[in-house]
A and B are shown apart, each in its own frame.
Chain A
Amino acid sequence: KNEVEQSPQNLTAQEGEFITINCSYSVGISALHWLQQHPGGGIVSLFMLSSGKKKHGRLIATINIQEKHSSLHITASHPRDSAVYICAVMVNNDMRFGAGTRLTVKP
């Protein structure tokens, strides 16, 4: 069993829909990152969380340390949100990655 599990693997949505991507982990962590990888491969760090909730524009990330679970929400989704979203957890100085969720937002 992978230490970091993301769901769903693939997600197709219509423009304007509310999107939720989930990440569960089985190890003790010091922080959790949400990353966005565009089709060309470039990666952007969206959030770094150690507790609670963060919001940036239409993106919201939450983490529940007790339940070892994090969610990434996208409100009013747009085709430009189409990308692979990757959850990564920090275990000591090691970073462990989920397999990613491929999001396609159709106009």
Chain B
Amino acid sequence: SQTIHQWPATLVQPVGSPLSLECTVEGTSNPNLYWYRQAAGRGLQLLFYSVGIGQISSEVPQNLSASRPQDRQFILSSKKLLLSDSGFYLCAWSVGQTTDTQYFGPGTRLTVL
């Protein structure tokens, strides 16, 4: 069966520090991968999606970046965190089209102080 892992589960970082969140999927090949953010008092927002290794599409401009170094690994990064980067970050995967059912990871709660 397929499983999706995210770590860390919670993170507290100072403003200006770097960020690296990791997401891995097991039990499937060539999944579509997604990064979402849910900021306090705001809804979910799609940040990045990837249809394959090295292929990243960005939906909104921000100081975050994403990389997909391996088929089932998706990394969300920042060189310098802002206060506004605080939120709940979710990774998800789907098979095939982006319209297919997506399966979400447990999420990482990031607090930037």
Contact = CB atoms under 8 A, between A and B. Distances in A.
Interface of A: 30-31, 33, 35, 41-45, 48, 50, 86, 88, 90, 93-100
Contacts of A35: 44, 104
Given A41-B109, A42-B104, A43-B107, A48 B99 contact: yes
A93 B98 contact: yes
Contacts of A97: 43-45
A93 B33 CA distance: 12
A42 B44 CA distance: 12
Interface of B: 34, 38, 43-46, 49, 57, 59, 88, 90, 92, 98-104, 106-107, 109
Contacts of A86: 43-44
B107 A41 contact: yes
Contacts of A88: 44
